[in-house]
Structure 1
């Protein structure tokens, strides 16, 4: 059997009743986190610009957006909500897959899903299915989509979006196979946004959402796609990755037994996830009682894939020009962690703090393969003190990872802090309760 047939069989035959309760609970937590991060982005310039664009394009305005009290066409509303979910780099990550799928799947299920049906259990199942498929494509790629300059969320994410849309639109098995095949031709998204901190990365989310819906509709009307999308001559791993480094057996390993929804990490810091282990290390130095003037320099050991995101070119990373650039600067983020003991949205309000810039320039790096990456986003460094003493810090499992998770109360606090920009305390808690009881609902608020 081709992998598309194996995956389609899983998608088509999975029943909500057979999904473990712990997986359903985690799915709701991930949707809650994604919704909160979207609301927190309500006043971001890019999000507001996209809203204006979609407002002008919308004809049938009947689906709510999360950043204000307006409504848009269902697909445009879903796309906007996805952009907002990813805008602040505070959304979750499947670290091994290097994938931000909840920003895609949460709007698909809560916005588009509820716009076409009122079956909350179906929408939850669709979310879980989307994560199962997207994550496995990302894991199988072994980071090589990124090595080729592609955004893994944009490449693996389209398969999750199509799989979720297949559930929402009740595709049969043959139609799902076609949808997966078609998805490969709609995969796109490059990492050149790193050159200037521009908005193209968040538009990848919108593109994946839109294409996933359209592909599912194509397939529902019996448009055919290649059966061999994962193993043919011009398969997805050859075209977007480095095929000889990939492991396609990951596509169905433990399918229906190992739930990828349980392997997703929720961010404690609003920044590129690759930097979180190093932020944890910097905070650990602070907690040791060290002062900035006692540290001569800090040398970090970084895996290959993160280097292009958070380290290179180092001279530019030392002095980010925008909040978005700062979120992808390991030295700047470490300096924030060292001085403030945390990173919040307010951390990016002043990018010219002298003590931060001076400390960041003490930080260097070299490439070194770590044992845990990419399952974990670790941090490893040596701090050389002015007195010659060397202090080593190793964070093997970054905070928020599924093996070092945020506590439920920490997750709730993050959500409430995120939504306070738009909601009062009662509205925020009502929304929290609504999502935590989503399977009982017949519409989205």
Structure 2
């Protein structure tokens, strides 16, 4: 049996009543967190520019709301714009082992598009969970090799998740769901060249995956057929986008209905590239030791191969990021911000020219290192060489916010309310918390 058949069988047989309560609860937490990050980004330049572009495109009569705005767009464009907002601040969640930001795709798809086609909160919740399960398993099976090849894992895996979620919303049969998975391999795309200048293509990967997933589900619903062997064939997705000999395809169906990948998703405490979070934790730990900038001669960080290309290389450019978005992918600059201020939040990027921050960042170098916990965890390991000759070691094995070191429910609510207040008042924000926690009973969704 092909893996597409196994995964399709899992999806079409999925029954919300038999999904564990903790899985449904975590799904709601992820949706709420994603909604908050999107609201916080609703006035970001790239989000407003995307909205301008969508307004100029031909649209259908069906409308959906732009999150954080008192206006609507054609439902697919609205969902795409909301997805761009969800990823724009790099504050959205991550399945660390899969290296995947699926909620930024699936929450807008399910809440904006989903309610326009099914009017059922139960089906929306099921679609979100099913999409995450399939997308995460593809990311895990890839063993980070999509990134090694220069592709954005979220862009590749995300279209599979979006196709599955859309297929649930449209009630695809097993055969149709198999075809949806087969089509997803041909719709997958997204390269990491955005790292060269901190540009907007990364957020468009999210919108593109969402849109392609919807299209795919409709093509499959109309009984167009696709390859069964999208995971095994001569030109399968792991060969096309990854390094097939390093992949483990057994992860695709490992523990289906027993191991729930949505429980392995980490919620970010810091608005930055997730790969840097363990090192931000290390910088905060150095500060908690009472150290000052002037006490430290240099810091050597030990970084895994995949994160290096995102947060360390080229190190000369990382020392002085030109934009807030570039700063979010600079390990030394992020560490310097955290060490200087004792926190890292949405306001941290307002001034990129602070003398103390730039001086501290330039003390930081890195060496390639293989961590035992990566990529399940995004750890941080460093040696700080002090001017008095002492050497201090910091090892963060499980980054804060990881599912094995999670944010508390109070911390999650605090993050959501702080994010949401960038666009709406607290009364509306608290009403959204109630809507998401009672999602199964909802027949529509408005901010």
TM-score, normalisation: structure 2: 0.99
Residue matched to 2:16: 16
d(CA) in 1 for partners of 2:443, 2:341: 44
SS at match of 1:4: helix
Say if 1:127 and 1:164, in contact at 8 Å, map to a contact too: yes
Instruction: Provide, for residues 270-298 of structure 1, a one-character-per-residue CA deviation record: whole Å limited to 9, x for no partner.
Output: 00000000000000000000011000000
d(CA) in 1 for partners of 2:60, 2:127: 27
The reply on whether 1:250 has 2:251 as its aligned counterpart is yes
The reply on whether 1:194 has 2:195 as its aligned counterpart is yes
The reply on whether 1:168 has 2:169 as its aligned counterpart is yes
d(CA) in 2 for partners of 1:148, 1:139: 15
Residue matched to 1:36: 36
SS at match of 1:364: strand
Residue matched to 2:183: 182
Provide structure 1 residue ranges, at least 5 long, that are not aligned to the other structure: none
SS at match of 2:395: strand
User: 1:67 offset after TM fit, Å?
Assistant: 2.9
SS at match of 2:56: helix
d(CA) in 1 for partners of 2:144, 2:266: 17
Instruction: Provide, for residues 228-287 of structure 1, a one-character-per-residue CA deviation record: whole Å limited to 9, x for no partner.
Output: 000000000000000000000000001110001100000000000000000000000000
d(CA) in 2 for partners of 1:440, 1:405: 28
d(CA) in 1 for partners of 2:347, 2:144: 32
Say if 2:278 and 2:398, in contact at 8 Å, map to a contact too: yes
Aligned-CA RMSD value: 0.6
How many matched pairs?
A: 445
Stretches of 4+ aligned residues off by more than 3 angstroms: none
TM-score, normalisation: structure 1: 0.99
Provide structure 2 residue ranges, at least 5 long, that are not aligned to the other structure: none
SS at match of 2:163: helix
d(CA) in 1 for partners of 2:440, 2:410: 21
Say if 1:61 and 1:74, in contact at 8 Å, map to a contact too: yes
Of 318-327 and 51-60, the range deviating more from structure 2: 51-60
Say if 1:109 and 1:123, in contact at 8 Å, map to a contact too: yes
Say if 1:297 and 1:363, in contact at 8 Å, map to a contact too: yes
Residue matched to 1:376: 377
Residue matched to 1:3: 3
Say if 1:61 and 1:71, in contact at 8 Å, map to a contact too: no
d(CA) in 2 for partners of 1:436, 1:69: 23
Residue matched to 1:395: 396
User: 1:347 offset after TM fit, Å?
Assistant: 0.5
d(CA) in 2 for partners of 1:213, 1:354: 48
